[in-house]
Structure 1
Amino acid sequence: MSEYLSVAIEAAKIAGEYQRNQFEEITEHDYKSPGNPVSGVDHRSEALIVERLSSSFPDHTILSEESGMMGDHETKWIVDPLDGTSNYLRGLPDFTVSIGLSVGGETELGVVYRPVSDELFAASKRSEPPDEAVTLGVSDRDAIEEALVAIPYSSRNKDRDRVWETHRYFGSQVEGLRSTGSGALDLANLASGVTDIVYAFDQSEWDRTAGRFLVEIADGVVTGHDGGATSTGDFVASNEKLHERATDLK
């Protein structure tokens, strides 16, 4: 296993252990914007991750949700220290630590860690993941009527007409909708074959980088809503068999 992947996994687990120990104990929080909570657990988790990454790679840039961009090196760590803060604060177990690594604009690795269940989703271009990691591989389901679809969207953006339109579109034809409240976890579930489509809106770089990489490594397809290439937070991810149907909504 490469040093990059090893350190990323260690950082995710350090933060995840802290979150697990504080879970159902911390409810105090502020709001960065309406519907977008932040707590001391977010900030402390970020500090633990930044400390671990910086101790091994002091020259690297770190982009993290709470502190923004730190540094200007072309090698950049992209961190969401607690994806699913609303879930965390309400005692729901669907929250994750998400860490990606970009080198020269190309994603090199992705780690998504779900602390409560101790599930590790990890992949790297440079090395194999550890044996403990969940096996990756998108589903081979080809019938839209049998698909499970996640529709993550940002709590920052209150203009949600397209989100509700998408719920109506898929809800009338698929087996079910299964969004978790953590966009990174939705993508990890897709990458491990648990669900079949993720139709995402307004996902920040820290929300999407690690999870999208996992989907691509798992032989999934990621495009814009219209089926074209995208590097934005609006995208569709699925297995190849369902992707044309997944992008039928215009």
Structure 2
Amino acid sequence: MEQAAVIHRDLEWDSAELKSPQQLVTKVDFEVEQRIKEHVSEQFSTHAFVGEEEGAVGNSDAVWYIDPIDGTTDFVYGLPHSSISLALVVDGTREVGIVHHLQSDTTYAAVRGEGAYRDGDPISVSTETALDRSLFGIGFSRKDTGDRTLRSAFEYLLDETLGVRRYGSAALQLCYTADGTFEGFLHRNLSAWDVAAGTLIVEEAGGTVTDFDGNGTEQTLLDGDVVATNGNLRGRIDFLNPS
């Protein structure tokens, strides 16, 4: 991970390409994903993988979801908001979540039922109860620009909170919610490798994670939309529920 954290210093646009509008991929994404698979397979030879870059590999009830660089654009431009996200899902249930902040060399981790940690120290969500003293993260891409629910959420949070921040890594913003930096984080249309680790870390830190309809089942948390909060504020943003 330390090597991945410094590679971007020598990375040039020639080694990055667009895999879809506004979505970069680099050789580092593929290298990190492969190294993670190799390392995990040494310990768990029968486990399967679902990686952002190389898709599904293997057939097992124990599946590791890998985002080798969450926030690739930030990584390419040298901005300090990219991470590696790794989650173990067993029989459809998130059991382990690890998010490594590349630029600060900080690791967030959680095991179901055992709490959440940052570099080995316990973390917990904010205890804030007032929106006007709260800071939120938000995520969106070009495909979300016509999403009225997300636009409404953004405008509401701009009006009602201390502020809204948008960084390139959803996994990292979930961890900022888990350690109390943010009171909450919203994002639409994510993939399991984006959120499986971070949502478990939020929950183990005492927070609440649902989709935009208020559902918090394992399936909804692996499939798309995320509303993560410290738990005290979820009821204040029920306007997100589609009519």
Same-fold call, TM cutoff 0.5: yes
**Aligned match of 1:121 in 93, 105, 108?**
108
2:12 corresponding residue in structure 1: 27
Of 51-60 and 156-165, deviating more is 156-165
Query: Residue 112 of structure 2 contacts residue 200 of structure 2 at CA under 8 Å; is this kept in 1?
Result: no
Of 141-150 and 231-240, deviating more is 231-240
Q: How does 1:1-250 map to 2 (within 5 A)?
A: 16-28=1-13, 29-125=16-112, 132-154=119-141, 159-230=146-217, 231=220, 232-250=223-241
What per-residue deviation string (whole Å, max 9, x for no partner) do you get for residues 156-179 of structure 1? 656444433321121011100122
Q: Identify the structure with the greater strand proportion.
A: 2
Which runs of 5 or more structure 2 residues have no equivalent in the other structure? none
Q: CA deviation at 1:67?
A: 0.5
Q: CA separation of 1:168/1:130 partners in 2, compared to 1, >3 Å: closer, same or farther? A: closer
Query: Residue 24 of structure 1 contacts residue 91 of structure 1 at CA under 8 Å; is this kept in 2?
Result: yes
Q: CA deviation at 1:241?
A: 1.1
- With structure 2 as the length reference, what TM-score do the two structures score? 0.90
Query: Residue 197 of structure 1 contacts residue 237 of structure 1 at CA under 8 Å; is this kept in 2?
Result: yes
Of 155-164 and 114-123, deviating more is 155-164
Q: CA separation of 1:246/1:155 partners in 2, compared to 1, >3 Å: closer, same or farther? A: same
Q: CA separation of 1:221/1:126 partners in 2, compared to 1, >3 Å: closer, same or farther? A: closer
- Report the Cα distance in structure 2 between the residues aligned to 1:40 and 1:222, rounded to whole angstroms: 33
Q: CA deviation at 1:125?
A: 2.6
Instruction: Report the residue type matching 2:151 in the other structure.
Output: W
Query: Residue 111 of structure 1 contacts residue 210 of structure 1 at CA under 8 Å; is this kept in 2?
Result: yes
1:5 corresponding residue in structure 2: none
Q: CA deviation at 1:79?
A: 0.6
Query: Residue 171 of structure 2 contacts residue 197 of structure 2 at CA under 8 Å; is this kept in 1?
Result: yes
Of 220-229 and 50-59, deviating more is 220-229
Q: CA deviation at 1:72?
A: 1.1
Instruction: Report the residue type matching 1:249 in the other structure.
Output: L
- Compute the RMSD of aligned alpha carbons: 1.9
- Report the Cα distance in structure 2 between the residues aligned to 1:69 and 1:75, rounded to whole angstroms: 12
Q: CA separation of 1:23/1:240 partners in 2, compared to 1, >3 Å: closer, same or farther? A: same
Q: CA deviation at 1:38?
A: 0.3
Q: CA deviation at 1:57?
A: 1.2
Query: Residue 135 of structure 2 contacts residue 182 of structure 2 at CA under 8 Å; is this kept in 1?
Result: yes
- Report the Cα distance in structure 2 between the residues aligned to 1:96 and 1:90, rounded to whole angstroms: 14
Identity of aligned residues (%): 32
Query: Residue 151 of structure 1 contacts residue 201 of structure 1 at CA under 8 Å; is this kept in 2?
Result: no
1:13 corresponding residue in structure 2: none
Q: CA deviation at 1:247?
A: 2.6
- Report the Cα distance in structure 2 between the residues aligned to 1:119 and 1:74, rounded to whole angstroms: 30
- Report the Cα distance in structure 2 between the residues aligned to 1:75 and 1:191, rounded to whole angstroms: 25
Query: Residue 120 of structure 1 contacts residue 134 of structure 1 at CA under 8 Å; is this kept in 2?
Result: no
- Report the Cα distance in structure 2 between the residues aligned to 1:152 and 1:94, rounded to whole angstroms: 13
